[in-house]
Structure 1
């Protein structure tokens, strides 16, 4: 009779010196020993899942039959079983028990059929029904506690472990996802802040951040200010505030100048030539007393341009009022016209300049008409004076012709005495006889010039023949009145007074005083 070991968990019977049950996922440390005669009927393959007691097996024929030992399938290792069980529940297969040599002699070959350990059996001797008793649990377990199949317990542990891994992995994955999401949000905020800062920097003319961009406008700054105000990250808003404040300050200064003009006067770091005020007499802000940088210096230059245009516009307006009211003024003079014309020429506003030029053209037409009238009046006066002079000359007695040059005359009881006038070139070769005629228009020209200079007055002079030199006649001009501007203060007793000697052919004349 052989002794064997039986697994209390799955009921597997072992005749080998095995430390652990090959059918269980979690091996028990020991087997419970029992003594029973082994027969071919009690060598039964047990399903792995159902732990049962070994039922009584009827003996077969005592005739020994040699049988070949069945091939026991190789059992998987612990690692393999754990791996397979973590994926799916393994399929239990019956395990064939290899008998020892003595057993082979006792048992006849027979198909091993699993039996229900709990089925009711009839005793062949007493014919009474016998209910197999369940084998007591090992001493390590309490009798009041039911035996739990080890494999199901291990499956539960596996499920718990897997669930824990899944939950842990989910928590880890969620945490990692949250971390990535937060990192992405931080990166997005940084990017948005960087874009805002970049847009702010574009409002400057260059990297020095002194002058503003040529395309700077109030709307562009207000748009960025609104975006920054809506920005939720206080840290970045705090960093951008100084830049916004600087742009706002410089923008206000720039617009205080550019808003005065039809087109911006200041672009970048320069003044634009030809910019014109929107209003001819606009109110110009006061300049900066102590400019802090070149930008503020440029602002002052722009304000000066505006002030100069306002002053020029006011001056032109005042001068135009002297020559033009609702229409051209008849009393306007050429001097007033010329002054207004010069003022209008300095204006930067071409439309205003054109309006004034149109009005000045009407004034000029009126003045020209008056000038023509005045010129005609003077011409008539001169003609009358010349005619009178010629008549007076014709009425004078002829001077006796002598070889002695005539001299200035003085009156002595109606008799003329002569004194020498200025010396003439080649006078010693001259004669008192010959052609005394005047060149065309020469006499009138000389007389008019002497009248203009104030040497004589109308009717207060006379001409006397003096000498002919190289065919050219010379006359002496005498004043017969002291009413001229030249002779005021002179006594009438000095009359006639010698004035100049005249070349009747060329119009040349000269006297004792400077011509």
Structure 2
């Protein structure tokens, strides 16, 4: 292969002008160039006599400096030497890297565990970096001016690489092997120029140092990341503990803060599950479960009432049992403040529920005596007042209003009946007053006549029938005279009382205050049209009518009775 001696451009066999630089060439120049190239390529590298193992513990910077000084004395023209030195340097770099790797691995064991895959990837990257300088040595050299400019330009190393190189301790080391004295004497006196091979070596060494430093840096970063993650976990666990404490109202962790719900504690417990491997997990779970139990008890208890019966650590007085609701919760067995308050609320709910049921039965019993707008005689004012008092003792609720509305109908019926009874009592009072006046007049007359009173014979003659038109006597004498013959006819059925008449007359007389039990007597008068007539006399002054009457006026005539019809009439008002 022919090359241009000016620019080393490859020429075809018949070209006499270089198409690259335009130089005119003759065959001698082309042949000469070919011979020089063949000489350069036919040289074989000579093995280096330097023992790199002696430099294993020497800082790489010192070795590079010593290596550069050695090759500055040799000049720039020996490409085969560069290739040989690159191979030798690669062996040294590999040994130096293995030492660094061993030291880094020992340090990694004391910090965090390293993934095998990451270490393998890193070693492959370092291997590629090692081979890069060697391959660059066998590349074709550019023209002479370009080589000189390139040799004078500094090698630019990345900032992070430089930082890692500087982190390695640098010691001053005396080279193990010095150049022979004869080579020192025969070294050329001309100015020394650094070979580009030196920069390649420096770059390769820097990459090796950067790789070892990066391993250390990566290990430190992972250790720091692990430490930060542990701090984060500890902070999260502490926050969960704080969130759980926020559910409690008191330091003894007995009562729940008002407004806390089951959903909120469930969310905290779900977050806690992310840290199940932490030492505090079991303790926090127990605390959370304690909160969940308390909230569940409060939710169930409050569901029986019109509003929450327990708020915080207080029992609400305005909370009452719901309509048609029965508290079926069992009392808590634990002896603490929370259980005591819950049991108090349960007992209150059960008491109110039982009171509602009892009042409902009382109202129903009262209403049983009022059917079809008619009030039974068995229903008394006392029955109503007792039922009303029981209803009014209930807490304000819709059921209470309903009970009051129902018993109000019974109250209206009682009022009507009592008004009627009052009117009857007033009439009886008037009759009593009239009877008293007549009795008093009769007593006065009896006293004046020495107590002897006999009817005239004419008064026993003729027919006398008791009616509303029968005239009254002003001296309180019987309004119908007696007939002795009829009285003597004792077995006459006319004297027999019609069924129920006797009881009705006596009961009415007692109710009106004319007589009392055992304080009256009946005497036969006469028989008219098969009906017997009796006179009723008061025998004591214990009745309201006889109040204030002298014992000397006894027996006192009150009225005459038809034993068949029950009609009676006296000297008083009708």
Please report the TM-score for the alignment, with normalisation by the length of structure 2: 0.46
TM-aligned CA distance change 1:24 to 1:286, over 3 Å: closer
Whether 2:385 is the aligned partner of 1:342: answer no
Greater length-normalized contact order (CA 8 Å, ≥ 6 residues apart): 2
Q: Tell me the residue number matched to 1:388.
A: 435
Q: Aligned ranges for residues 14-413 of structure 1 at < 5 Å?
A: 26-28=68-70, 48-51=75-78, 87=156, 151-231=195-275, 233-289=277-333, 291-324=334-367, 330-331=375-376, 332-398=379-445
TM-aligned CA distance change 1:481 to 1:175, over 3 Å: farther
Conserved in 2, the CA contact under 8 Å of 1:388 and 1:459? no
1:186 positional shift:
2.4
TM-aligned CA distance change 1:312 to 1:204, over 3 Å: same
Which deviations, in whole Å up to 9, do the C-alpha atoms of 1:395-419 show, x marking residues without a partner? 3343669xxxxxxx9x8x889xxxx
Distance 1:357 1:452 in 2: 41
Q: Tell me the residue number matched to 1:480.
A: 554
Please give the root-mean-square deviation of Cα atoms over the aligned residues, in Å. 4.4
- Partner of 2:395: helix, strand, or coil? coil
TM-aligned CA distance change 1:390 to 1:359, over 3 Å: same
Distance 1:267 1:327 in 2: 49
Distance 2:353 2:262 in 1: 25
Which deviations, in whole Å up to 9, do the C-alpha atoms of 1:291-328 show, x marking residues without a partner? 32111111111111111101110111011102236987
Q: 450, 457, 460: which is aligned to 2:538?
A: 460
Which deviations, in whole Å up to 9, do the C-alpha atoms of 1:226-282 show, x marking residues without a partner? 333455545443231110122133233333422211211111222111201123441
The structure that is helix-richer by fraction is 2
Please report the TM-score for the alignment, with normalisation by the length of structure 1: 0.51
TM-aligned CA distance change 1:189 to 1:328, over 3 Å: farther
Conserved in 2, the CA contact under 8 Å of 1:287 and 1:303? yes
Conserved in 1, the CA contact under 8 Å of 2:327 and 2:346? no
- Partner of 2:69: helix, strand, or coil? coil
- Number of aligned residues: 309
Distance 2:194 2:280 in 1: 63
Name the larger-Rg structure.
Answer: 1
| Structure 2 unmatched ranges of 5 or more | 1-45, 47-64, 80-151, 158-181, 184-192, 455-509, 521-535, 542-547, 557-574
Conserved in 1, the CA contact under 8 Å of 2:425 and 2:512? no
Distance 2:351 2:256 in 1: 24
1:216 positional shift:
3.1
The structure that is strand-richer by fraction is 1
Distance 1:197 1:329 in 2: 72
Conserved in 2, the CA contact under 8 Å of 1:461 and 1:479? no
| Structure 1 unmatched ranges of 5 or more | 1-7, 9-22, 32-45, 53-82, 89-137, 140-148, 402-408, 416-446, 464-473, 483-515
1:455 positional shift:
10
Conserved in 2, the CA contact under 8 Å of 1:323 and 1:329? no
Conserved in 2, the CA contact under 8 Å of 1:322 and 1:336? no
Distance 2:294 2:372 in 1: 47
Distance 2:552 2:261 in 1: 83
Distance 1:478 1:376 in 2: 33
Distance 1:229 1:197 in 2: 13
Conserved in 2, the CA contact under 8 Å of 1:288 and 1:296? yes
TM-aligned CA distance change 1:334 to 1:239, over 3 Å: same
